[in-house]
Structure 1
Amino acid sequence: MTAPHLPPSMRVLERGWLSSNNILFLGREQTALVDSGYLNHAAQTVALVAHGLQGRPLDRLLNTHLHSDHCGGNAALQQAWRCHTSIPAGQAAQVRSWDRDALSYNGTGQQCAPFSFDDTLQAGDQLTLGDMQWQVLAAAGHDPHSLIFYCQEHGILISADALWENGFGVIFPELDGESGFAEARATLELIATLDVRLVIPGHGAPFSGVAAALDTAFSRLAYLAADPQRNAQNAIKVLLKFLLLERQQIKLTEVPAMLASLPLAAAANRRYLQRSVADLSEWAVAQLLRAGAAEIRDGFLYNRH
């Protein structure tokens, strides 16, 4: 979609709740893409990027963080263009050895095709994307290694899952008993110091109401931190939705076993909720139905987009 005040060298390929937005840069000398979406959508990602490139090759691929919905298209893009790939420095060893546990894919039950990388990104780095200068900033909270990109000249922030128009991504470290709320607050406070006029979030449409979005995010963070059970509940709902995205339909009687098989969901339940698996599953299904993200027909839970 075309966002207000988006420079002509940028394109935002807006995806969905479970596949991250892709930000395409068409510089005079180099093209680049930030984030690549989920594995199930990789073929579509390649097609969308190819259309946006208008016959040019994809020279560079960068990831804000390595959750599966942000890097699941990496391997397909590398196969299509052999693009130079940059990932957060904190996860270089995990990608090099393809440690699915450390990369969270086993814990969440999500898929990501193995990919390689050429160099790493860390806070303080300077990037040239779309003939514009970007600062790399640390954005821990949702993920300890997450990064965001800021262009001071145009007041644009690529915020990944650190800030959405109506919140932010699940604070995953807290599910394992690690600190995440304090880091998320520090990230929001950092964003508040920047002269941001346009935010390109990891999910959802670009937006310009930055002050209102920050107010919403701070309020939501305080709500979650006041009772970590709320963060755990949100995470389990999201994890079930990912399972449904993978399979498109799940027999209702199989939902409890599927949730129980996810180490991260089991850990969150054990630490914060302490519900029976049957009760937890019934609750999670009800949440997806209420959100319009699923429907029940003939004893099956079906995915709804």
Structure 2
Amino acid sequence: MPSRLLPPGIEVFERGWLSANNIFHFGEKDVSLVDSGYCAHQNLTIDLVRNALNKHGLSHLNKVVNTHLHSDHCGGNAALATAFHCQIAIPAAEASAVQDWNEDLLSYQNLGQECPRFTHQGLLIPGQEILLGRYPWKILAAPGHDPHSVMLYQAEHRILISADALWEEGFGVIFPEMWGEPGFEEVAQTLDLIDSLQVDLVIPGHGKPFTDLEKSLATARSRLDYLASDLDRNARHGAKVLLKYKLIEWRSKDLDLVNEWIANTPALQSAAKQLNMDTPEFEQWLVQSLVKSGAAQVEGQTLVDLA
């Protein structure tokens, strides 16, 4: 990681793909964590934060800030709030959904994932600034992967926390398009916004921080063109990512239970409809596609994750 580009008071906890990266910010007036990982890793997230606090002689965590409310970015919220009595700040557009814990608006049931219920005390409003550790960060709207996602930009040090709007070699699944809502144009607009910023270091939601913004933007735009040119491509890609993600959590699973999960996950049923497949056909295709890609293998009646 190009740590020389990180100013004092910022540390990145690079996580595996089940949990989003965590960014630890600390200063005299504030200690904050951006994104909290998946609930299955919540104990590790607590340990990472506690170790960082001890390392720097800090007594408390003020707040957790979520770039968006997918389960891999906020699944540790409830555990961190209990462990550290910290506040939680979320994108403003998600306020009512979190307050009511509205399963129809939140993504967890739709994507077949889990997230322990949490409450929020702060809102992230695009165009405003938020203090994270020692530095002010501008909140930027970043729709596409998620309609309500935000990024965080530190102009003085030219650092962008891009969440899943931009990775070194792409971006997060364009989920809205899987159920008939717009997403492709929103991704394009978000990439244009990133391109307009002065950035020396990008801290993505997944993968190591990187510096070659021009190359990553070119890769992302090429990927977007590929997906947007055929709606079925995005549906197939999103379906495979969702099953792979769940399999990372499971490690292995009886095929009957895998198929039961597929049948009960609304986003996957939307993908099946998009691809004109009935449920049994779609279940068979999805498992075989993951195996064919080298991301999984079938051992007897069990689907097994391959790194």
Same fold by TM-score greater than 0.5: yes
The letter of the residue matching 1:17 is W
Task: Structure 1 unaligned segments of length 5 or more: list them.
Answer: none
Structure 2 equivalent of residue 42 of structure 1: 42
Q: Percent identity?
A: 48
The letter of the residue matching 1:296 is V
* Residue number among 215, 230, 241 corresponding to 1:238 in the alignment: 241
Say if 2:18 and 2:249, in contact at 8 Å, map to a contact too.
Answer: no
Residue 116 of structure 2 corresponds to residue 117 of structure 1: no
The letter of the residue matching 1:92 is A
Residue 94 of structure 2 corresponds to residue 98 of structure 1: no
Say if 1:88 and 1:147, in contact at 8 Å, map to a contact too.
Answer: yes
The letter of the residue matching 2:14 is E
* Residue number among 75, 80, 83 corresponding to 2:83 in the alignment: 80
Give, in whole Å, the separation in 2 of the partners of 1:304 and 1:28: 44
In angstroms, what is the RMSD of aligned CA positions? Answer: 1.5
Structure 2 equivalent of residue 16 of structure 1: 16
Give, in whole Å, the separation in 1 of the partners of 2:296 and 2:3: 30
Aligned residue pair count: 304
Q: How many angstroms does 1:69 deviate by? A: 0.6
Structure 1 equivalent of residue 74 of structure 2: 71
Residue 260 of structure 2 corresponds to residue 257 of structure 1: yes
Give, in whole Å, the separation in 2 of the partners of 1:145 and 1:4: 32
Q: How many angstroms does 1:2 deviate by? A: 6.2
Residue 241 of structure 2 corresponds to residue 226 of structure 1: no
Say if 1:110 and 1:242, in contact at 8 Å, map to a contact too.
Answer: no
With over 3 angstroms needed to count, the CA separation of the structure-2 counterparts of 1:203 and 1:290, relative to structure 1, is: farther
CA-to-partner distance for each residue in 1:198-231, whole Å, 9 max, x for gaps? 0000000000010000000011001111001111
TM-score, normalising length from structure 1? 0.95
The letter of the residue matching 1:288 is L
With over 3 angstroms needed to count, the CA separation of the structure-2 counterparts of 1:187 and 1:46, relative to structure 1, is: same
Structure 1 equivalent of residue 144 of structure 2: 141
Give, in whole Å, the separation in 1 of the partners of 2:265 and 2:219: 30
Q: How many angstroms does 1:241 deviate by? A: 2.0
- Stretches of 4+ aligned residues off by more than 6 angstroms: none
Report the more deviating stretch, 211-220 or 283-292: 283-292
Structure 2 equivalent of residue 150 of structure 1: 153
Say if 2:112 and 2:261, in contact at 8 Å, map to a contact too.
Answer: no
The alignment partner of 1:85 has SS state of strand
Structure 1 equivalent of residue 284 of structure 2: 282
Give, in whole Å, the separation in 2 of the partners of 1:4 and 1:101: 43
Q: How many angstroms does 1:292 deviate by? A: 4.3
